Amino acid sequence: MMKKMKLLALCCVAGVLMLVPNAFASDVKTSIGLGVGMAPDYEGSEDHEAVPLPYARVTWGDNGNYVLLNGNNVRANLLSKKWQAGPLLQYRQERDNVDNDRVKRMKDIDSAVEAGAFIAYQSGPWRLGLDVAADISDEHDGYLATLRGGYTCTQMENLKITTSLSTTYADDDYMETYFQVDSKNVGTSGLPLYNADSGIKDVGLSVVADYSLNKSWSIMGIGSYTRLVGDAEDSPVVDDEGSENQMFFGVMGIYHFN
């Protein structure tokens, strides 16, 4: 838990540093929030654990520029409202003290920090984006690319619901670290050896509901379903000991400075 909190703090610091050049920009709007979620205790697990959900968003000027900290991800849009692009930084949880007895006896995987960039196109309620991030913490030494499309509808004046579909490609290094079972990581688990190659590792659906209580406060609810596919789905840590069906639920309260 301490490692997790330290890396979340690192994400917060990174977001603040990206804000410095714009500290005196006009029309600055800031929101901060905190919540809790229930997430699988490792990628591919059927067991869940509570995780903190920090939130911060700062926008400035008339061009749609922002810095956003949302859970384990920090990103900054340096372009415009329609075409968005900029750097991103994200945290990936460790796999060590998990609930599953056999996976617990495998070699531990420390938490990782990944850095990269994103690009997105926003047209009215529709959004299409691509994230690419690589490990900078020397833990899995791989990279991932996530393609995501979403639609936002306003059900009521104070309620917005965003539905998104996504799919993620992972390279050999990532897949070997999290899904391969070999002589280097099998430990005393007794799991069968398994080779995991690069490819599409998941497809997912997420729904985010943002409800404004008043001008200062809002509540955000998050739910997602991710289906592991390919070599990720067939890995013993998933197929034998976990589940290819990955669920996440979270809720947070957000305060908007006026």
Task: Give the CA distances from residue 220 to residues 15, 122, 207, 252, in Å, rounded to whole numbers and listed in that order.
Answer: 20, 21, 10, 5
Q: Confidence band (pLDDT; 50, 70, 90) for 161? A: very high
Tokens linked to 101: 């007895």
Burial (0-12, 13-18, 19+ Cβ within 10 Å), 188: exposed
- How many beta carbons lie within 10 A of that of residue 174, not counting itself? 26
What residues form DSSP beta bridges with 228?
202
| Per-residue pLDDT at 3 exceeds 90 | no
Digit-coded pLDDT (tens) for 176-198: 999 999 999 999 999 999 999 99
Count of positions (residues) in the chain: 258
Sequence-ordered list of residues with C-beta below 8 angstroms from that of 46, at least 6 positions apart, any chain? 40, 100, 242, 243
- Write the CB contacts of 138 (distance below 8 Å, at least 6 apart in sequence): none
User: Domains of the chain: which residue ranges?
Assistant: 2-256
Residue in 115, 118, 127, 142 with CA at minimum distance from that of residue 43? 142
pLDDT (mean) for 99-122:
97
- CATH class, domain 2-256, is mainly beta
pLDDT at residue number 76: 97
Candidates 151, 156, 183; CA nearest to 166 is 151
Judged against a pLDDT cut of 80, whether residue 2 lies above it is answered with no
Position 26 scores a pLDDT of: 58
**Each residue's pLDDT tens digit, 13-39:** 455 444 544 544 558 999 999 999 999
Q: What is residue 160's three-state secondary structure?
A: strand
pLDDT digits (tens, 9 = 90+) for 130-149: 999 999 999 999 999 999 99
Alpha carbon distances (Å) from 38 to 155, 229, 232, 249: 26, 22, 21, 5
